[in-house]
Structure 1
């Protein structure tokens, strides 16, 4: 194998001329390609998003790559973008063992673990299993202030893009049935003293009490100085002093957030209310209870 060819392959890689790499190597008879050339080809296929082809190629040279951290990293890279996160974790862990503290390996290992955890924690119960028939208190005030038409998928995507957070599946399904409003059950049991909520912000921009409305999530966070941990989802009677938020610190922006209370008057103290939005809804009780 020519040293000039290897130098050219590296130059094309640095200049992001990836297809040039593929074309040049594929002109060589497969029987004449060694481990180094196949590794270059696999990396190029990965960079072109041809992950399944790359994975097949890497499997062909698996015996030679067994002790090569780059081989394991590139195989993990394939699995990661094929959304096979458990397999990606396995390969990145081996790569880390063979080459400890490699920054790229550590970054993708952390991403894979987070994606795997998110996949396992995805809400699986369909929203239809929760009885919403008597959930909402549709007073004139509620209808005028909170409730909008059910959101389209396009509107949901637009709001999520503006907020920079993916909304929980249970919440979006719930809003498609009734977009924002005041519930009959407004109390969150907290032991000695319950937390009271006023209403849920719907998905949209037309009503002031909607996620991207005039009194929406971003406005409340910026004007109230609240921590940038997610999305304001609920009103409370003391709206200027506290909020209920979806907290994405543990899950990442596209994961399943916890629900928390943030108390502005108590140095922005954060209190966890529920592991996820569905659990929060199911935990609400009436004032009488």
Structure 2
């Protein structure tokens, strides 16, 4: 019976009868579907351009699929057409590692590289040419050269660019509206380690010293060091004793220190100032910049 079903599924696939495949497999109770049937279902959903449903099916057999290049290829295809290029690249790279030289896999990897470059260029242009009245990344900031992606810990911060829905979700969880310029910058490169990691601290006309940052938290949850990640803003405020003034923006080499978005004057929906906090001196909050743009522009090399 099973062999007959599998032969029928392959026959329908050759005849482009993808709806018939979906109907036949979904009639089988979910708990009775094995890896092979779920793979057939995911492939058919891909062919029907129902990519979100396909991803859901493939993820349900992720553990079994780790050593199967076809599983990586098929979920990579779904991610690609959902424009989730970082996830797609990771999947196709795994497929290529398990089955080197497959032409279709290599072609998708080339397409992803091209698409990613286009997105970064378009986002960089739109970020520095925001309409009048909207906050933007400083015009003299080279967005594409701002980050040190070669730094050893860069992958601890960097994620795929956030969607508008994700930004809204993160803001709801934080209960603060994120600066528009910060959002724009994260849509070009979401979190990471800047090449310029020092911010001079001044008093009047004199420079007192400088603050060093270790990385900028990106918008998301998937990385521990992201705004709502396992070790994100809320966790750091609660575990390290930082003041309840807003959102942790940057971590510092010392866990006692952080750079934060300070909403005390602006309110939760306003434009926050950028401040330095040190739990060893809880009563001292050092103002660094009036907004995110000025903070980015003020970062210097060692």
Q: For this structure pair, what is the TM-score category when the shorter chain's length is used for normalisation?
A: 0.5 to 0.7
Per the alignment, residue 263 of structure 1 pairs with: 278
Per the alignment, residue 221 of structure 2 pairs with: 205
Give distance in 2, aligned partners of 1:152 and 1:167.
Answer: 14
CA contact (8 A) 2:158 2:218 kept: yes
Give distance in 2, aligned partners of 1:163 and 1:238.
Answer: 24
Correspondence for 1:169 among 155, 158, 180: 180
Per the alignment, residue 249 of structure 1 pairs with: 264
CA contact (8 A) 2:275 2:285 kept: yes
Give distance in 1, aligned partners of 2:138 and 2:276.
Answer: 24
Deviations 1:92-128, CA, capped at 9 Å, x for gaps: xxxxxxxxxxxxxxxxxxxxxxxxxxxxxx6544666
Structure 2 SS opposite 1:144: helix
CA contact (8 A) 2:158 2:191 kept: yes
Summarize the Cα distance change of 1:151–1:184 in structure 2 as closer, same or farther, 3 Å threshold.
Answer: same
* Equivalent residues, number: 166
Ranges in structure 1 where 5+ consecutive residues have no aligned partner:
1-121
Correspondence for 1:157 among 168, 188, 198: 168
Per the alignment, residue 195 of structure 2 pairs with: 184
Give distance in 1, aligned partners of 2:167 and 2:142.
Answer: 23
CA contact (8 A) 2:155 2:192 kept: no
1:268 CA displacement: 4.1
Per the alignment, residue 231 of structure 2 pairs with: 215
TM-score (norm 2): 0.52
Give distance in 2, aligned partners of 1:140 and 1:130.
Answer: 20
1:167 CA displacement: 0.2
Give distance in 2, aligned partners of 1:126 and 1:140.
Answer: 23
Structure 2 SS opposite 1:243: strand
Residue 146 (structure 1) aligned with residue 157 (structure 2) = yes
Structure 2 SS opposite 1:233: strand
CA contact (8 A) 2:136 2:180 kept: no
Residue 229 (structure 1) aligned with residue 240 (structure 2) = no
Query: In angstroms, what is the RMSD of aligned CA positions?
Result: 1.8
1:129 CA displacement: 5.6
Counterparts of 1:1-289 in structure 2, within 5 Å, are 123-125=134-136, 130-139=141-150, 141-190=152-201, 191-239=207-255, 241-287=256-302
Structure 2 SS opposite 1:281: helix
CA contact (8 A) 1:226 1:268 kept: no
Give distance in 2, aligned partners of 1:248 and 1:254.
Answer: 8
Give distance in 2, aligned partners of 1:146 and 1:171.
Answer: 15
